[in-house]
Amino acid sequence: MIKKTLSIVGIVVVAVYILLTAFVAVDVTETVVITQFGKPVRVVTEPGLTVKWPDPLQTVIRLDKRLQPLESNVSEFLTQDKKNLVMSNFILWRIVDATRFIQSVKGVTSAERRLSELVASELGMTIGTYSLSSFLTTDEGGTKIPEICDKVTKTSREYALREFGIEVMGVRLRRLSFPEQNLRSVYARMSAERERMAKKYRAEGEEKAAKIRAETDKEVREILAVAYRESQVTRGRGDAESIRIYAEAFEHDPDFFKLTRTLDAYRKCLDEKTTLILSADSPFFQFLECPPGGH
Amino acid sequence: MEETKSDLQRVFRHAKLVGILLMILLAVLYLASGCYSVKPEQRGVVKRFGRVVNDNVLPGIHYHWPWPIESVLRARTTEIRSLSISFGSQKGSEGQTAEASGSYGEVVVNTEEDPEKDVPIWAQETDRFVPVVSSELEEGQAAELLTGDENLVLATLLIQYTIKQPKSYLYNAIDTGKVLNCIVQDATISKIAEMSVDDVLTTGRFEIQMKLKEQIQTRADSYDLGIRFTSVQIQNIQPPAEAAEAFREVASAREDQHRLMQQAEGDRNRRLPEARANANKLRNEAAAYAKEVVEMAHGEAERFLMGWDEYRKAKTVTAHRLYMEAMEEILPRVRKLVSDPEAEGPTPFPQNELPP
């Protein structure tokens, strides 16, 4: 009775053990490598349930196959025209060949280290063939940074795939700058450039203002000159008209005109300050000494 | 002895019954643990033995096979997530910039208020690959940016996105936030590297935002991150503190330029109407003068002709009368000396009566 119970319990324990270790749930995020006494025999990339011989005949190694970002350290690179650039980058990678990965790099930490070294050397080599103006430019063609990154991605992808079973999905810039010791001179250059621009703006402002003022002066004088000319013409026309009118009227009798005009002139010119020396035989005194009819 | 046995049998029978009931209860509880709810702002992804069997479970109460067969993860798809990245330390200190450039802002997870955790214990996710999903603002720190004309600028970007594809978002990258950070930083560095500092700081803002959004969407799609960017905003973009003074100076110079021109323009707007008014005055005066002299001439001519008409009728008399009238008018007010033409020598002047 007890023997029977014990054997049933034993069978159940063994069955549960086999069930638990013979069935493997492969997650959507992982690749499972089944090893037989340490030697990889099968790689399962399809998520879901899979069967293997129970432990310890076959064991599983789970690897995360998702995309992962790796930050590289900041380092200095020399461009083709011998300029120093400080750069650091991201490497986006994932495991595609699990067997190779396990055999070549063992763990993620060492994979990251070797990947960093690989990308850094590829980057150094590629940057050496480009000039600084390929990175920084305001020209039509634009910057060559994406091109450089793609180039590095391509070469390191081939190598990493072959050697580590890793697919490099992208090498992307995280930092692009000048070395620390150059920054001071960069700031100084920036300030100098700005100061030059400020001066230019002020000078341009003064120039434009002066131009506006000069133009205004010119226009004002033009306006006044034209008005002066027109007013003189108008006055002249008036004068001419009046002269014509006078002449027309006085033409009728020049003698009478002379008489009236002269008398008018006398009235105007001879005033209190005038001392008139009259000759006694002037026509005015005609009757003074010899009355009419008395001679 | 007989009674004891039957008692034992009774107790044993009861225990068996209780045991069976307990077993049934446990089985029911186990099966019930497959109930889960998806909230209105969420979408669920169901996995069976690690394989995704349904990647778009709509809101409501649902059932999945209990652990360890099936499990569910929920992602808030309607929520807009924010990612803020600062390029360069905003304080502008070199040392800080260098230090900060290597680090990322922590992804903040508020465990108290995280709706994902706000589900009954039996419906909670037990998967070991729980991605960090957060409604909090993620913040990234990056180094200052280089422009195409070798100037440095500092900037802060605010990126907003939603989850387009829950399955891709949850299972395609280990740290989606960091991958996003990477994509945005690379795109920003590349974009700024082909613009002049003036464009970057002034007119180029809109272009940068547009191009960046396009670029990072393409990248995110190529990595199948299951994300849709809704907006890219430049919150702040400025020159480094070391050169800020010079940049401000340029702005004030530009203002000075504008002010000088405005002043000249204002001067012009004042002087031209003034000149026109003066010109008008000149013209009007001339016209008035012309009218005046013509009218005067007419008047005088008329007067002359009228007088002449009468004069003609009796020439000698009128002439004499006119002469005498004039004399009468003039002689009383002038000083007169009458000289005798027959007398010899100069006419004696009364010395004291000479005008001064």
Residue-by-residue DSSP string for B181-241: HHHHHHHHHHHHTTS-HHHHHTTTHHHHHHHHHHHHHHHHHHTT--EEEEEEEEEEEE--H
Asked if A28 and B50 touch (Cβ cutoff 8 Å), the reply is: yes
What is the sign, positive or negative, of the torsion defined by CA atoms of B201, B203, B208, B213?
positive
Beta bridge partners of A40: A35
From A145, A232, A239, residue closest to B193, measured CB to CB: A145
pTM, rounded to two decimals: 0.69
Which chain A residues in 59-88 lie under 8 Å from chain B, judged by CB atoms?
Answer: 64, 66-69, 71, 73-74, 88
CB-based contact (8 Å) between B163 and chain A?
Answer: no
Q: Work out the angle at residue B200's Cα, subtended by the Cα atoms of residues B194 and B203, and round it to the nearest 5 degrees.
A: 120
Q: What is the pLDDT of residue B353?
A: 52
Dist CA B83 CA B138 (whole Å): 5
From B171, B183, B272, residue closest to A219, measured CB to CB: B272
Q: Work out the angle at residue A27's Cα, subtended by the Cα atoms of residues A21 and A30, and round it to the nearest 5 degrees.
A: 100
CB-based contact (8 Å) between A117 and chain B?
Answer: no
Mean pLDDT computed over every residue of chain B: 80
Q: What is the pLDDT of residue B343?
A: 66
Residue A226 C-alpha, separation from nearest chain B C-alpha, in angstroms = 8
- Has residue B246 got a pLDDT over 80? yes
Q: Contacts of residue B150 in chain A, CB cutoff 8 Å?
A: 136, 186, 189
Q: How confident is the model at residue B90 (pLDDT cuts 50, 70, 90)?
A: low
The mean per-residue pLDDT over the stretch B127-131 comes to 36
| Chain A with chain B: Cβ pairs closer than 8 A | 349
B185: nearest Cα among A64, A39, A71: A71
β-sheet with B70-76: strand ranges across: B51-57, B42-48, B70-76
Q: How confident is the model at residue B273 (pLDDT cuts 50, 70, 90)?
A: very high
CA-nearest residue to A147 within chain B is B190
Q: Work out the angle at residue B239's Cα, subtended by the Cα atoms of residues B233 and B244, and round it to the nearest 5 degrees.
A: 140
Better pLDDT: B222 or B307: B222
**Residue B40: exposed, middle, or buried by beta-carbon count in 10 A (0-12, 13-18, 19+)?**
exposed
Q: Which of A24, A50, A172 would best serve as a mutation to test chain B binding (most B beta carbons within 10 A)?
A: A172
Q: What is the pLDDT of residue B348?
A: 60
B241: nearest Cα among A135, A183, A145: A183
Dist CA A80 CA A127 (whole Å): 7
Q: Contacts of residue B177 in chain A, CB cutoff 8 Å?
A: none
A61: left (phi over 0), alpha (psi -120 to 50) or beta: beta
CB-based contact (8 Å) between A274 and chain B?
Answer: yes
Which residue type does B254 have?
Answer: R
Q: Contacts of residue A202 in chain B, CB cutoff 8 Å?
A: 253, 256-257
**Residue B25: exposed, middle, or buried by beta-carbon count in 10 A (0-12, 13-18, 19+)?**
exposed
Phi and psi (nearest 5°) for B291? -60, -45
- Digit-coded pLDDT (tens) for B318-355: 888 888 888 888 888 888 887 776 766 665 655 555 55
CB-based contact (8 Å) between A249 and chain B?
Answer: yes
The answer to whether the CB atoms of B335 and A234 lie below 8 A apart is no
Q: What is the pLDDT of residue B127?
A: 36
Dist CA B353 CA B70 (whole Å): 145
Dist CA A156 CA A261 (whole Å): 120
B152: nearest Cα among B49, B249, B247: B247
CB-based contact (8 Å) between A206 and chain B?
Answer: yes
- Digit-coded pLDDT (tens) for B146-173: 998 889 999 999 999 998 888 888 888 8
Residues contacting A137, CB < 8 A, separation 6+: A143, B148, B193, B194
B326: nearest Cα among A263, A89, A77, A179: A263
Q: What is the pLDDT of residue B139?
A: 67
Better pLDDT: B136 or B84: B84
Asked if B66 and B31 touch (Cβ cutoff 8 Å), the reply is: yes
Residue A193 C-alpha, separation from nearest chain B C-alpha, in angstroms = 9
Q: Contacts of residue B323 in chain A, CB cutoff 8 Å?
A: 259, 263
Tallying the residues shown for chain A, one arrives at: 295
CA-nearest residue to A45 within chain B is B51
Question: Which stretches of chain A score pLDDT less than 70?
Answer: 1, 293-295
Q: What is the pLDDT of residue A50?
A: 87
Q: What is the pLDDT of residue B71?
A: 86
Q: Work out the angle at residue B179's Cα, subtended by the Cα atoms of residues B177 and B185, and round it to the nearest 5 degrees.
A: 100
Dist CA B201 CA B207 (whole Å): 12
This model of the complex carries an ipTM of 0.74
Q: What is the pLDDT of residue B96?
A: 32
The answer to whether the CB atoms of B338 and A278 lie below 8 A apart is yes
Residue A197 C-alpha, separation from nearest chain B C-alpha, in angstroms = 6
> How many CA atoms lie less than 13 Å away from B147 in the CB half-sphere?
23
Structure tokens at A208: 């434009």
Which chain B residues in 236-295 lie under 8 Å from chain A, judged by CB atoms?
Answer: 239-240, 242-243, 245-247, 249-250, 252-254, 256-261, 263-265, 267-268, 271-272, 274-276, 278-280, 282-283, 285-287, 289-294
Dist CA A292 CA A279 (whole Å): 19
Which chain B residues in 181-200 lie under 8 Å from chain A, judged by CB atoms?
Answer: 181-183, 185-186, 189-190, 193-197
CB-based contact (8 Å) between B87 and chain A?
Answer: no
From B171, B258, B333, residue closest to A28, measured CB to CB: B171
Residue-by-residue DSSP string for B233-292: EEEEEE--HHHHHHHHHHHHHHHHHHHHHHHHHHHHHHHHHHHHHHHHHHHHHHHHHHHH
Q: What is the pLDDT of residue A221?
A: 94
Tallying the residues shown for chain B, one arrives at: 356
Q: What is the pLDDT of residue B3?
A: 62
Q: Work out the angle at residue B69's Cα, subtended by the Cα atoms of residues B67 and B74, and round it to the nearest 5 degrees.
A: 70
Q: How confident is the model at residue B1 (pLDDT cuts 50, 70, 90)?
A: low
- Digit-coded pLDDT (tens) for B14-60: 888 898 999 999 999 988 888 888 888 888 888 888 888 888 888 88
CB-based contact (8 Å) between B335 and chain A?
Answer: yes
